[in-house]
């Protein structure tokens, strides 16, 4: 399998989100997403926060070693912690402060490419700190990619004709979910990558057949929220 370049995967993930939202008008940006209580504009603002965090993080290298990698990082974020409702409410109120939803798209279109350029210029052998952890730069970029891919799928709930996330970015997100599963877990045969990501993050509930095929591993779901 070809080695994934983390900066290219992030570029593809952010470009994918841009492709979804750039053609939407204010009404389209007020459609529902898979994130409870969030409209498209709300969710875009949340992902915009990640892009802004990327700019700060990549400009602030630290000494290693890392205390988490691109998989173990997510173990601090199990499906819907106690802070999730507060953050969701903050995002909704912040998005509502914009005069028009399309203003959030404009800010995203300025910020996301800058984050991608920063990722392309980063020292992939270096370390950064974010969310109270130290990570290798490639692992940090993988966390951003994973979140962007999952939220890309969230955006498509009422936008079925929107372009899906790119294959390279999806591979990174799938690798994250695989890492969060126990080593002996076999993904149900009927799942494609999108099914896996949506079920692993609790967007779609497991069916009885899923639980049968997963066995004891079904208790691990959702792997993250």
Give pLDDT tens digits for 205-217.
999 999 999 999 9
In angstroms, the CA 3 to CA 13 distance is: 17
Assess contact for 118 and 58: CB atoms under 8 A. Answer: yes
Task: Dump pLDDT digits (tens) for 125-149.
Answer: 999 999 999 999 999 999 999 999 9
Whether residue 1 is predicted with pLDDT greater than 50 in this model: the reply is: no
Under CATH, what is the fold of the domain 6-166?
1.20.120
Is 84 buried (19+), middle (13-18) or exposed (0-12) by CB count in 10 A? middle
In angstroms, the CA 33 to CA 49 distance is: 17
Residue of higher predicted confidence among 78 and 150:
150
Quote the pTM value. 0.95
Residue of higher predicted confidence among 89 and 207:
207
- Provide the residue ranges of all domains of the chain, joining segments of one domain with +: 6-166, 181-218
List alpha helices for the chain, DSSP H: 6-21, 40-58, 84-96, 101-121, 137-155, 167-180, 193-200, 208-214
Assess contact for 126 and 61: CB atoms under 8 A. Answer: yes
Q: Which of 188, 187, 193 is nearest to 170 (CA)?
A: 193
Cα of 185 vs its chain's centroid, Å: 23
């Amino acid at each position: 399998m070809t080695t994934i370049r983390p900066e290219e995967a992030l570029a593809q993930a952010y470009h994918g989100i841009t492709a979804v939202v750039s053609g939407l008008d204010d009404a389209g940006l007020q459609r529902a997403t898979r994130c409870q209580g969030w409209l498209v504009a709300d969710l875009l603002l949340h992902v915009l926060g990640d892009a802004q965090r990327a700019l700060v993080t990549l400009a602030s290298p630290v000494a290693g070693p890392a205390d988490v990698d691109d998989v173990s990082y997510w173990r601090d974020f199990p499906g819907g912690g106690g802070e999730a409702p507060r953050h969701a409410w903050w995002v909704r109120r912040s998005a509502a402060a914009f005069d028009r939803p399309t203003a959030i798209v404009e800010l995203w279109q300025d910020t996301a490419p800058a984050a991608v350029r920063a990722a392309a210029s980063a020292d992939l052998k270096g370390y950064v700190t974010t969310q109270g952890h130290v990570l290798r730069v490639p692992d940090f970029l993988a966390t951003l990619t994973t979140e962007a891919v999952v939220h890309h799928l969230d955006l498509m709930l009422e936008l079925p004709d929107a372009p899906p996330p790119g294959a390279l970015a999806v591979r990174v997100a799938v690798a994250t979910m695989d890492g969060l599963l126990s080593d002996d877990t076999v993904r149900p045969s009927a799942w494609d990558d999108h099914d896996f990501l949506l079920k692993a993050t609790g967007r779609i509930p497991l069916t009885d057949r899923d639980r049968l095929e997963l066995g004891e591993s079904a208790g691990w779901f959702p792997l993250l929220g």
